[in-house]
Structure 1
Amino acid sequence: MGTVVGVRLGDGVALAADTRATQGSSVRSESLRKLFEFDAAGAVAAGEPSAIQTFGRKLDAEVRRRQTEQGTTIRIDPLARLASDLASETGVEAVVAARDGDLVAHVRAIDSTGGELEEEVVAQGTGAEFALGQLEGMDRGIPVEEAPETLESVLESVAERDTETGEECTVWTLGDG
């Protein structure tokens, strides 16, 4: 399953996901794509590798369709609703981020039953407890430009405690406005 996180920072949000895929106690890959980007929105997902890929593919198609039809970038509420429906369908846990109508970036946790929760700090997956402890203790007033190094360090630390989380990760940031 691995670990995915999202955090509200001083001037935006950041998402991060490890890239390890496991099956049982075996590592299947160290390069599974769990981070999905859509213009000014993003999502990370934790779960079975095939479910993650299905979630990402369907979310990408739906976001692109809506943006084409409406001619605008998707906002946090419709993105969270889409992700919620797809998480329920695929059984993944996800974190999504996008701006609201006032151009303020938000993070939402989506559970595998489609439940949705807005928080300043979110972690999903097998290393969620370890990640939350570190994320809650970090300086969240840092600028989004510093997020990659910080979140990479958090996930490296999680990987030391959770065998399903890999040390390699991808990070995506979105500033306010």
Structure 2
Amino acid sequence: MPTVVAFETEAGAVLAADRLVVENDRVSSKNAERIAAFGDCGAAAVADPDQFRRELDGERRAYGADHDTDPGIEAFVRMATNVATAVGTDAAVTARDDDGRARVRAVYADGSVIADSPVALGTGAELAFGRLEAGVPEDPAEAESFAREVIEGVAERDTRTGDEADVWTLANA
């Protein structure tokens, strides 16, 4: 299981995930694309990222067709929770609230949602929380680099987390 982190800053939100896939104690891929970015919404699933992305994209497109806009954080969380439950995965999601601020949430396969920032999921979550709870940079460029460094640091201690990370950011409107 990989490591996924997300956190809020004064400028927006950051979402990061490693690319490693380990199955039956063997590395099956070093190129998994866990981050699914859809306009003003983003998510990263710890398990089965391709199915999670496809199903979440379908939900988001249906919402867009009905509302002619990207969903805000509450609607996107509902969609992501339904998909996470169906797929059987945990995920971090980010979208803007009604005031235009980028927000992060953790959604779980059991249907629960945690609205606190920071978010850390996967086998390296405990290690990642140590770094995240010590404080995150407010500068957008520094926050992006920091997220990458968190994943790389976790990879040094967790054999199921890869040292290559993808990072996606969402600025406040």
TM-score when normalising by structure 1: 0.94
Counterpart residue number, 1:139: 136
* Separation in structure 2 between the aligned mates of residue 100 and residue 9 of structure 1, nearest angstrom: 14
Displacement after TM superposition at 1:87 (Å): 0.8
* Separation in structure 1 between the aligned mates of residue 141 and residue 71 of structure 2, nearest angstrom: 23
Q: How many residue pairs align between the two structures?
A: 173
* Separation in structure 2 between the aligned mates of residue 93 and residue 150 of structure 1, nearest angstrom: 22
Specify the SS of the correspondent of 2:133: helix
Counterpart residue number, 1:38: 38
Task: Report the RMSD for the aligned CA atoms in angstroms.
Answer: 1.0
Is 1:3–2:3 an aligned residue pair? yes
Is 1:78–2:75 an aligned residue pair? yes
Displacement after TM superposition at 1:10 (Å): 1.8
Is 1:68–2:65 an aligned residue pair? yes
Displacement after TM superposition at 1:52 (Å): 2.1
1:162 pairs, out of 151, 158, 164, with 158
Specify the SS of the correspondent of 1:73: coil
Deviations 1:46-102 (A, max 9, x none): 02xxx3211111001111221122111210001001111111111111000000111
Equivalent runs, 1:112-127 vs 2, <5 Å: 112-127=109-124
Counterpart residue number, 1:22: 22
* Separation in structure 1 between the aligned mates of residue 6 and residue 73 of structure 2, nearest angstrom: 14
* Separation in structure 1 between the aligned mates of residue 82 and residue 24 of structure 2, nearest angstrom: 27
Specify the SS of the correspondent of 1:134: helix
Counterpart residue number, 2:148: 152
Gaps of 5+ in 1: none
> Among the aligned pairs, what percent are the same residue?
38
- 1:33 maps to a residue whose letter is E
Specify the SS of the correspondent of 2:99: coil
* Separation in structure 1 between the aligned mates of residue 139 and residue 74 of structure 2, nearest angstrom: 24
Specify the SS of the correspondent of 2:60: helix
* Separation in structure 1 between the aligned mates of residue 136 and residue 86 of structure 2, nearest angstrom: 35
8 A Cα contact 1:40 1:99, kept in partner: yes
Displacement after TM superposition at 1:42 (Å): 0.2
Deviations 1:102-150 (A, max 9, x none): 101110001121210111200001100000111111334x122322211
* Separation in structure 1 between the aligned mates of residue 168 and residue 49 of structure 2, nearest angstrom: 17
8 A Cα contact 1:144 1:174, kept in partner: no
* Separation in structure 2 between the aligned mates of residue 66 and residue 111 of structure 1, nearest angstrom: 21
Counterpart residue number, 1:103: 100
- 2:66 maps to a residue whose letter is E
